A and B are shown apart, each in its own frame.
Chain A
Amino acid sequence: MSVSSASPPVLIIEDEPQIRRLLQLTLESNGFRVHQASSGGDGLARSATDRPEAVVLDLGLPDMDGIEVLKQIRSRSTVPVLILSVRNSEQDVISCLNAGADDYLMKPFRQGELVARVKAAIRHRQQPETRGAIIAGPVTVDLDARVVKRRGEIVRLTGTEYALLALFVRNAGRVLTHRYILEQVWGPAYAEESQYTRVYVGQLRKKLEDDPANPQLIVTESGIGYRFAV
C-alpha cells in the first residue's frame, strides 16, 4: 500500500472538541497529518486551502447540514469523504452516500475501524480504474477476461450476476447503497426494487462464499447496503 506522501493530510470537520481531539490522536498516531474545522463553513474553507487527501465529516454540525457541506465539497473536488453519523439516521447516511460520500461510520466506532476506512478511501481514490485480476479470499475475478474463479475452478455466472460482482469488485472496500447498486446494474427505473439486490446477492453468495449463511465477501451493512470485503 502506498500513500502519496509520508503523512497524508486529513481534514476533520466536527463540532465536538472532545471527539476532534480523539480523532486527531488516533489519526496522528497512525501517520496522518490532521487539520481541524469546528463548523461547516470553516470546513469548506479549509477543504479548499489545506488540500486534504481525505475528509472526515460529522453530520451534526451547528451551522449547516452535513449533506450540504458534502455537496459543496463535491462540487469542486473528488477528495474522499467519510461520514460520521449516529444510529437511527440511516436515511441521512444513505443520502450522503448517494450524494458522493465514500464511506460512513456510526458513532460510537472503534478507532481501528476509522483508520482502516480512511486508508481504504485514500487508496481507492488513487486507483480509480481497477483492472486485471482481483483476488478476494477464495475468489479471483478477472475483469478483463470476464472470468470468475473460486479455488481455481471457473464459476458460471449469469449476466446480471457478473455485472453485480464486477460493480462490487471495482468498488472493493467501499459501501454501496441499494439504490446505487440498482441504478448501476439494473438502471435508474429500478431504484426502488430492493428485492433485486437481495435475490442476486443471495445467488452470488451461494456461488462464491464458503458459507453462504455467514458471508465473508459480500458483507451486509445494516440498513444501508453492501460492502465487498478485500
Chain B
Amino acid sequence: MDFPEDNRPDPDALLQSIRRTEETESKAKLKIFFGMSAGVGKTYDMLKAAHDAKAHGIDVVVGIVETHGRSETEALLEGLVILPRKTVEYRGTRIDEMDIDAILARRPKLVLVDELAHTNAPGSRHAKRYMDVGEILDSGIDVYSTLNVQHIESRADAVAQITGTVVRETVPDSILERADEVELIDISPDELLARLAEGKVYSPDRSKKAVESFFRLGNLTALREMSLRLTAERVDRQLRDYMRTNRIPGPWKSGQRLLVGMSGSPHSVHLIRWARRMAFTLDASWLAVHVESSATPSQAEKDLLAKNIKLARELGAEIVTTADENVGDALIRVARQENCTQILIGKPRPGTFQKSARLLQELIDKSGDLDVHVIGGEGDAKPGRRLASLLEAHSGVRQYIGAGAVPLLVAAACFPLKDLIEYQTVSLILLFTVALLPLRFGMGPVLLAAAMSAIAWDFLFIPPVFTFSVSRVPDILMLLMYFCIALVLGVLTSRTRAQERAVRIREGRAVALYTLSRDLSLARTKDAVAEAAVANIKKFFDADVVLCLGQTDGDIFTAPHPASTLAVTGKDLSVAAWVYWNEKQAGRFTDTLPSASATYYPMSGPRYPLGVLGVSLKGDAKLSIDQETLLENFIRQIASAVERETLNDITKKAVVVEESEKLYKTLFNSISHEMRTPLSAIIGASETLLDDAVSERASTRHELTREIHDAAARLNRLVENLLDMTRLESGLIRPKLEWCDVRDLINSAVAKTAAELSGFRVGIDTPGDILLIRIDFALMEQVLTNLLLNASFYTPAGSEILVRAAGDGNECEITVADNGPGLPPDALEKVFDKFFRVPGSRTGGTGLGLSIARGFVEAHRGTIKAENRPGGGLRFVIRLPLEKYPVPESR
C-alpha cells in the first residue's frame, strides 16, 4: 500500500474532492436539521429557516410537515405554501403521504420534507421517504429535512443497546454524506425534560409515558453525545477534505481500505455497522465480502445474507462475493486483490465446532502485513437452538433421515446372505455404500450414515449377533478401523465433491459470462445486441426478459425491444421509464414500485441512460445473491455492448451526413449544368418559334420544335434519374418481385430506347424458350434502359449494340455489349460511382445512370460488372439468381 511520501495531495483524492464540490454546486442542496430525539425543535427550526428563505425571495413549499399538535410549530406554518397530501388506501385504512409527483410538478426552489426516516405506506413509489428526497434532489429541487440520531443506520444498534428500544425506521448513513449542511439542534436533556413536562412536546398523558420509557435522563445524555459526536465527525471530515484540497499538511489517513467478512448470520449486522463506523473514522473505503462454500445455506440464512448485503451496500460498502471452501484463504485473497489494509471479522462463538476459531487462527497466520480486527458480538443465540440450526442449516432434516436410512437398508439386504459371505465382506459393501453417499448428500448426513453403518454392522453381523457387544479383540479393532475409515471416507469424498461443485459453479458463471461476451462481441447492430442479451439471460437465468433501449440521442424508448420475451403492460413500462430517468433499480422485490411484474435494472451510459432491462424469473422467484451478482455483470457487459453500438450508430450517422453533404455539392454542380442546358435550349427555341417572322418557314419551325422535344426528353431523363437515385438513397427500394419472361424484359427496354438507339445496329440474342426470373419488372427494365442509353451515348453512331440473355439453372446472365472504345482498366469499377465520368469523355449525361443500375440490380440480390471485351468494346454483365417456379397446371 502506498502512503504519500510528501505533502502532495493524492491526485485521486483531489479529483474526488473537486468532483464533490462540482456536484454540490450543480446539484440541489440538502439541509438536515439533526437532533438527538423528538422534541428538540427540529421542525420548528426548519420552519423558521423556511421563512428566512422565503423572505429572501426563494420559492418555498411545504411537502410535508408534522406538527404533532404543537401550537408554536403550527403557528410557523402560516404564510407558507402547503402542498396537499396524497391519500393512499391500504387494507381499508386511508394513509396520508407526501405527494412526490405534486412536488416534482410544482418545481419549487426549496421543499420542506419533515421526518426523513419515515416509512411510506405500501403502494407508494418508494418504500422510504429518504428515497423520495433522493429523487426530489436529483430533479434539482433543494430540500430541508429533519432527522433524529437514533434513525441513522450505523447507530441503530447502539441506540437499541442504550435505550432498549429497537429502531425500525432507519436511513442509510450515506444520506448524511449527501447532505450539504447538517444543522445540529441541540438542547440540554434537562431542558428537553422540562419542555416535556410543560406539555410542549406530547400531550400530558403521553408525556408521562414517554419520560418513563424513552426520555430518561441517561438515555438522553447518551443520545446527545452520539449526535454531537456524529456532527463532530462530519465537521472533522469536511476539515480534512479542505486541508487535502488546499495542500495543508496534516495527518494523512488516506490509503486505508477495510475488508469485512460477512455471512448469513445475525452477528454480521453488528459487524457491518462496526466496519462502517471504523471506515468513516479512518476515512477509508471498505468492502464487505461474502464467501460461498459448498454447504447449502437454509432459507433463513439466505434471507439474512441478502439483508446483510443490502445493509452493507446502503452503508456504502463495495460488495464482493467469492466462492471458496476455506473462508480464511478467500478473505486474504480478496484483501490482496483489492489492496485492503485491514480485515474485520467476528469473534468466534462457543459451540461452533471450533470452526471459527480455526478460521481466526488461519487468518492471523496467513495475514502477513494485513491488520486483523476481531469484533465482539452483542448477545449470543441460545446454544441448544444453535446446534439444531447448525444441523438444519447445512442439509435439512430430510437429508439426514435419507442418508441414515441408506446403510441400514443395505445392511438389512445383506443380512440374509450373512451365512454365505463373511461378515468382513459386509463391511466392505457398507464402506462402498458410504463412499457413494456424497454423490447425493452433504457432509453432515454422510457422517451420520458412516456412524449408522458402523452400528448396523456391529449389531447385525459381528458376532455375537443382535448385540452391540463385540467379543473378539480383532473384531473390536476391525470395528474401530471400520468406523475411522468410514468417517474419513465420508469427509474426504464430501469435501472433494463440494470442491468440485464450487468449481463447477464458478465454471458455470465463467462460461455464462464468456458466452455472453462472445455473443455480444459478434453482434453487429443494436438489435443483434438486444437479441443476444435477451437470449443469454433467458438461457442462464431461466427468466423472461424485457429490454427497453433508449434512442441514439438519449431520448427515452417508446416500447420494449421486439426481442423481449416478457410482455409488459403500460404500468410496467412506466416503472421502466422511472428506472431509465433515475438510473436506479426498481420494480419487483425492490423498495421502489414493487408491484411491477419484473425487476428493472438501469443500463447506464457515459452521457445519458442507455436503457432498462427487466427480469422476471419463472414462477415469480427472487434472484439469489450469486445470481444477482452474475446478472449485474451481465448488465454491465450488455450496457457496454449497447453503448458500443450506439456510438457506432452515431459515427455511421456522421459518415452518412458527411457523404450526403458531399453528394449534395456534386449533385448541385452537376445538376445545375445538366438542367440549364436543356432548359436554355427549350426557352431559346420556343422564343424563336413565337417570333412570327421565323416560324413562318416550315422547315425552321420543324427544326426548332425538334430541338425543344429533344431538350425536354433529356430533361425528363435527368429527372427520372434523380428520382431513382433519391429512391435508392432513401432506402425505399423494395423490389416487388414477380415472374417475368427475360425476353419480355429485353424487348420492353429496347422498345423504350428505340429513339436513342435509332442510329445503331441493335442485336438481341435470347433463348428460344421462355426464361422466367423473379424480378421487379419496372426496376430491371430501368437497369437495361440505362445500360442501353449509356451504350448509345458513349459509342460512335453506327456501332453495334448486342443484348444477350441466358440461364444456366442457377443464374440468369444478361449482357449489354458494344463495340465502342471500351474503358481504361481502372475505371471499370469506378463507372458505377455516382457522378463518375471517364476523364476526357463526352459531356452530357448525368453520371447517375450506371450507379442507379447497380443499385437496382443489388436490390435484386444480383451483381453487375463492367468488362472490356477481348475484341474491343465494353460489356456490362448482370447476374441474377434463378429460382425454380411452380409449373402451372394445364387444362
Q: Which residues of A contact B736 (CB under 8 A)?
A: 91
Stretch binding the partner chain, chosen from A12-20, A23-31, A36-44, A195-203? A195-203
CA distance A186 to B890 in the complex (A): 10
Q: Are B723 and A199 closer than 8 Å at their CB atoms? A: no
1/0 per position for B684-716, CB-CB distance to A under 8 A? 000000000000000000000000000010001
CA distance A108 to B764 in the complex (A): 27
Q: Which residues of B contact A186 (CB under 8 A)?
A: 888
CA distance A202 to B766 in the complex (A): 13
Q: Which residues of B contact A193 (CB under 8 A)?
A: 886, 888
CA distance A212 to B744 in the complex (A): 10
| Residue of A90, A159, A212 touching B778 (CB-CB under 8 A) | A90
Q: Are B888 and A220 closer than 8 Å at their CB atoms? A: no
Shortest Cβ distance from residue A60 to the other chain B in the assembled complex, whole angstroms:
14
In the assembled complex, B245 has its CB within 8 A of some CB on chain A: no
In the assembled complex, A137 has its CB within 8 A of some CB on chain B: no
Q: Which residues of B contact A87 (CB under 8 A)?
A: 720, 723, 778
Shortest Cβ distance from residue B686 to the other chain A in the assembled complex, whole angstroms:
13
| Residue of B727, B739, B778 touching A195 (CB-CB under 8 A) | B739
CA distance A193 to B887 in the complex (A): 10
CA distance A196 to B741 in the complex (A): 11
Q: Are B738 and A178 closer than 8 Å at their CB atoms? A: yes
| Residue of A91, A195, A212 touching B772 (CB-CB under 8 A) | A195
Q: Are A213 and B747 closer than 8 Å at their CB atoms? A: yes
| Residue of B743, B744, B772, B890 touching A158 (CB-CB under 8 A) | B890
Shortest Cβ distance from residue A186 to the other chain B in the assembled complex, whole angstroms:
8
CA distance A195 to B888 in the complex (A): 8
In the assembled complex, A72 has its CB within 8 A of some CB on chain B: no
CA distance A222 to B720 in the complex (A): 16
Q: Are B886 and A160 closer than 8 Å at their CB atoms? A: no
CA distance A88 to B734 in the complex (A): 12
CA distance A87 to B885 in the complex (A): 28
In the assembled complex, A215 has its CB within 8 A of some CB on chain B: yes
Q: Which residues of A contact B488 (CB under 8 A)?
A: none
In the assembled complex, A62 has its CB within 8 A of some CB on chain B: no
Q: Which residues of B contact A199 (CB under 8 A)?
A: 770, 772, 887-888
Q: Are A198 and B743 closer than 8 Å at their CB atoms? A: no
In the assembled complex, B323 has its CB within 8 A of some CB on chain A: no
Q: Are A214 and B739 closer than 8 Å at their CB atoms? A: no
Give the size range of B's interface with the partner.
Answer: 20 to 34
Q: Are B770 and A202 closer than 8 Å at their CB atoms? A: yes
Shortest Cβ distance from residue B689 to the other chain A in the assembled complex, whole angstroms:
15
CA distance A108 to B776 in the complex (A): 22
Q: Which residues of A contact B716 (CB under 8 A)?
A: 108
1/0 per position for B151-164, CB-CB distance to A under 8 A? 00000000000000
CA distance A160 to B890 in the complex (A): 7
In the assembled complex, A188 has its CB within 8 A of some CB on chain B: no
With A202-B741, A213-B766, A215-B747 given, is the CB distance from A159 to B886 under 8 Å? no
Summed over the interface, the residue pairs from A and B with CB atoms below 8 Å come to a total of 68
| Residue of B764, B777, B888 touching A196 (CB-CB under 8 A) | B888
In the assembled complex, A132 has its CB within 8 A of some CB on chain B: no
In the assembled complex, B748 has its CB within 8 A of some CB on chain A: yes
1/0 per position for A82-104, CB-CB distance to B under 8 A? 00000110110000000000000
- Which residue of the partner chain A has the closest CB to B777? A223
Shortest Cβ distance from residue A12 to the other chain B in the assembled complex, whole angstroms:
21
CA distance A203 to B891 in the complex (A): 14
In the assembled complex, B740 has its CB within 8 A of some CB on chain A: yes
Q: Which residues of B contact A198 (CB under 8 A)?
A: 739-741, 744, 770, 772
CA distance A186 to B886 in the complex (A): 15
Shortest Cβ distance from residue B553 to the other chain A in the assembled complex, whole angstroms:
32
- Which residue of the partner chain B has the closest CB to A90? B778
Interface size on A, residues (CB 8 A): 28
Q: Which residues of B contact A78 (CB under 8 A)?
A: none
| Residue of A195, A213, A215 touching B764 (CB-CB under 8 A) | A213
In the assembled complex, A126 has its CB within 8 A of some CB on chain B: no
CA distance A45 to B747 in the complex (A): 42
CA distance A193 to B776 in the complex (A): 15
Q: Which residues of A contact B741 (CB under 8 A)?
A: 198, 201-202
* CB interface residues, B 769-803, toward A, < 8 Å: 769-770, 772, 776-778, 781
Shortest Cβ distance from residue A213 to the other chain B in the assembled complex, whole angstroms:
5
Q: Which residues of A contact B778 (CB under 8 A)?
A: 87-88, 90, 222-223
Q: Are B891 and A158 closer than 8 Å at their CB atoms? A: yes
* CB interface residues, B 642-697, toward A, < 8 Å: none
Shortest Cβ distance from residue B297 to the other chain A in the assembled complex, whole angstroms:
64
CA distance A194 to B724 in the complex (A): 25
Shortest Cβ distance from residue A181 to the other chain B in the assembled complex, whole angstroms:
12
CA distance A70 to B741 in the complex (A): 32
* CB interface residues, A 198-226, toward B, < 8 Å: 198-203, 212-215, 220, 222-223
- Which residue of the partner chain A has the closest CB to B739? A195
Q: Which residues of A contact B743 (CB under 8 A)?
A: 212-213
| Residue of B727, B744, B752 touching A88 (CB-CB under 8 A) | B727
- Which residue of the partner chain B has the closest CB to A202? B770
Q: Are B891 and A160 closer than 8 Å at their CB atoms? A: yes
Q: Which residues of A contact B769 (CB under 8 A)?
A: 202
Q: Which residues of B contact A214 (CB under 8 A)?
A: 747, 764
Shortest Cβ distance from residue B42 to the other chain A in the assembled complex, whole angstroms:
71
| Residue of A178, A201, A213, A222 touching B748 (CB-CB under 8 A) | A222
* CB interface residues, A 144-183, toward B, < 8 Å: 158-160, 163, 178
CA distance A202 to B776 in the complex (A): 18
Q: Which residues of B contact A212 (CB under 8 A)?
A: 743
Q: Which residues of A contact B766 (CB under 8 A)?
A: 213
Cβ contacts A to B, 10 pairs, < 8 Å? A87-B778, A160-B890, A186-B888, A195-B772, A195-B888, A196-B888, A198-B739, A220-B744, A220-B747, A222-B777
A-contacting residues of B (Cβ < 8 Å)? Answer: 712, 716, 720, 723-724, 727, 736, 738-741, 743-744, 747-748, 752, 764, 766, 769-770, 772, 776-778, 781, 885-888, 890-891
A198-B770, A213-B747, A213-B764 are known contacts; what are 17 more A-B pairs with Cβ within 8 Å? A87-B723, A88-B727, A158-B891, A160-B888, A186-B888, A193-B888, A195-B772, A195-B888, A198-B740, A199-B770, A199-B772, A202-B770, A203-B770, A220-B748, A222-B748, A222-B778, A223-B777
Nearest 3 A/B pairs, CB to CB: A195-B739, A223-B778, A202-B770
